[in-house]
Chains A and B, each alone.
Chain A
């Protein structure tokens, strides 16, 4: 039993790694690299959010708040106070974890739409603070963020590096780095899901009352996963800030929170690889639709609506179901 889990977990990771290795063959220029790097960072964020939404069944409409806090903490600590990046990212994540834990305890007692409402409120308050505290955050016009520096090694999207004798451009180095980050994020999430914590979470999703009756401390597990997903968001927010080189309070906005939750639902709630697909699709769509000019918003809304109506379980789960049904049919025919 355990063995099979191990196998399927590894298999998914290997496929993802292979895609990430093959993908550069299809990338024509540095802009494409940049898009894919952003996709990887956002995907890692929603992999974390999915733990909360997909497995524990708790909807957050304010996750961009944590993402924005992480981004601004990294930006301010490195930019204004000259901290190295790694401690900035880590301390930011710890602070966000504490905030998430403090607000999480009372909020997570709420059910359904009230929980959405409360998370929305938390996200909004964070965004308002970032927008108003101009002296620290630069206000609505945003602030520049220095390049990421990993143990004395500066990772700038504009630099040039040599790796094992090969010269690689900064954007390629970022791509490799973001790919590794995504793989680690996925690996951690998959392990968590199959751990006793993960099983407890799923029981909370099924029925909270039932879970608590059989002795699962639902409040504790919900808080825990809320904090973990906030840490994911904070770390990725920090990386995003370093990669972008410039952030505005939009990274903490309600629109961004909605984007995150849409990535999860569109890709497939509860499917770690599904939400990655969700992030890819939603990041790619505006670029592909850019040529429609005025009709861009119409098309985007229509695609979003139709996908969710006809694939309510999300892209990946629905596609997987179709493929496996076909395979079964084929196997049946051959036998």
Chain B
């Protein structure tokens, strides 16, 4: 009996080991770019365009001769929007696939879960997630391409103040994006002297937010409403807002800056404003805007390759990849420390999201001005400023 049990155990171990072996990668020729994104799950609208962008530009760069004469190899895992799998896959990228740089982390949760590991492994990491905590305080190995939610809050509240609005109602999602955005909005509002009179939330999979909006509407003194959230939630908020017949100015965050949102929200979105990347209005940009060409090219290339609308989130991945390539070229090798230093010193890189000026104190390199304020007019984005 004991013998058979050991034999059985041996078999189990062998099967498990075979499973593990299958996962190890080989060969060190190409430059390995590791990536973990939320390609499926609740944050798939982030991860999906991000992955498509990475795939297509890695192909494109390879066709054009690669980087430093070496091919790029993209190794990608889907973290399903789950931060503990994000951490596992980051670990797999570092330890098993032995990648040279990591571009990924669609959500702040996924990014932050991987950060301690990546810092220990001393590998350059470019995050595609928004929250301000990712690069403030500065972490030696961590960079990010999207503007922070704090900048979005600053941009929105500035626009409100320009319109003479100083008392607002806030509705936010309870997911990571909404909750961090809420926190930043409250802080920025206090600094700017804007009062948040009502502060309500909704769950990520809620199907009707009329109750919360009614509460805001019945709060005396509210002059405008801001919704910080991403996914389908803000589209429902927008429709409920219109159904309730609320007439106050309505703002959304950059979390919904995509054409997909306009389709979902339909005519209810009319008149709302949000901070967004110029990617949504490439043709309205003045001709002397340095971003105009980059933005138009990215849009054209993405849409012809994938037959689907370009999204701001994919652009984060575009900028991430281009920053990585530029840093590797400047470093002349994939030595992690050299690449990290090169990344930290990138100045004047004009990307789709904005112009990046990195420094040892700023691992994001963007300013709030890189956000444009857009308004929905006749079902289309209109550049306000």
Contacts and interface: CB of A to CB of B under 8 A. Distances in A.
Contacts of A23: 13, 16-17
B138 interface: no
A34 B20 contact: no
Contacts of A134: 179, 183
A266 to B, nearest CB: 14
Interface residues of A, number: 46
A288 B17 contact: no
Nearest to A253: B82
A114 to B, nearest CB: 24
Interface string B19-32: 11111100000000
Contacts, number: 122
B20 A26 contact: yes
A196 B287 CA distance: 84
B24 A28 contact: yes
A323 B8 contact: yes
A187 interface: no
B88 A34 contact: yes
B176 interface: yes
A247 to B, nearest CB: 8
Contacts of A251: 84
Interface in A222-261: 244-246, 248, 250-251, 255
A131 B174 contact: yes
A241 B314 CA distance: 32
B21 A296 contact: no
A287 interface: yes
A250 B4 contact: no
B20 A245 contact: no
A284 interface: yes
Nearest to B8: A323
Nearest to B117: A245
Contact of B13 (A11, A22, A296): A22
A28 B84 contact: no
Interface centre among B14, B78, B108, B131 (most CB of A within 10 A): B78
Interface residues of B, number: 51
Interface string A25-45: 011111110110010000000
Interface string B247-287: 00000000000000000000000000000000000000000
A245 B83 contact: no
A283 to B, nearest CB: 9
Given A31-B96, A246-B87, A280-B16, A158 B120 contact: yes
A141 B131 contact: yes
A139 interface: yes
Interface in A280-326: 280, 284, 286-288, 290, 293-294, 296-297, 319, 323
Contacts of A28: 20-21, 24, 96
Nearest to B173: A140
B292 to A, nearest CB: 35
B44 to A, nearest CB: 11
B78 A293 contact: yes
B92 A142 contact: no
A31 B13 contact: no
A246 B13 contact: no
Interface in B313-351: none
Given A28-B24, A34-B88, A323-B4, A140 B175 contact: yes
A11 B4 CA distance: 12
B112 A18 contact: no
A245 B9 contact: no
A297 B40 contact: yes
Contact of A144 (B2, B116, B176): B116
A251 B109 CA distance: 13
Contacts of A288: 19, 22-23
Contacts of B210: none
B24 A140 contact: no
B197 interface: no
Contact of B12 (A141, A245, A277): A277
Interface string A263-283: 000000000000001001000
A327 interface: yes
Interface in A182-210: none
A35 B20 contact: yes
Interface string B69-94: 00000000110001111011101101
A244 B83 CA distance: 11
A195 B77 CA distance: 46
A250 B96 contact: no
Nearest to A32: B20
Nearest to A256: B84
B208 to A, nearest CB: 18
Interface in A105-146: 131-132, 134, 139-142, 144
A139 B178 CA distance: 11
Contact of B179 (A30, A141, A144, A294): A141
Contacts of A245: 116-117
Contacts of A323: 4, 8
Nearest to B179: A139
Could you say which of A19, A31, A245 has the most chain B C-beta atoms within 10 Å of its C-beta? A31
Contacts of B120: 158
Given A27-B20, A141-B109, A15 B6 contact: yes
Interface in B13-67: 13-14, 16-17, 19-24, 39-40
B180 interface: yes
A15 B13 CA distance: 11
Centre residue among A18, A132, A141, A158 by max chain B CB count within 10 A: A141
A140 B109 contact: yes
Given A142-B109, A287-B23, A290-B78, A246 B95 contact: no
Given A139-B180, A248-B84, 12 more contacts: A22-B10, A26-B20, A31-B92, A32-B96, A35-B20, A140-B176, A142-B112, A244-B84, A246-B87, A280-B16, A290-B77, A294-B40
Interface of A: 11, 15, 18-19, 22-23, 26-32, 34-35, 38, 131-132, 134, 139-142, 144, 158, 244-246, 248, 250-251, 255, 277, 280, 284, 286-288, 290, 293-294, 296-297, 319, 323, 327
11 contacts: A11-B1, A15-B2, A18-B6, A139-B180, A140-B174, A140-B176, A141-B176, A142-B83, A142-B109, A290-B77, A323-B4
Interface of B: 1-2, 4-6, 8-10, 12-14, 16-17, 19-24, 39-40, 77-78, 82-85, 87-89, 91-92, 94-96, 108-109, 112-113, 115-117, 120, 131, 133, 174-176, 179-180, 183
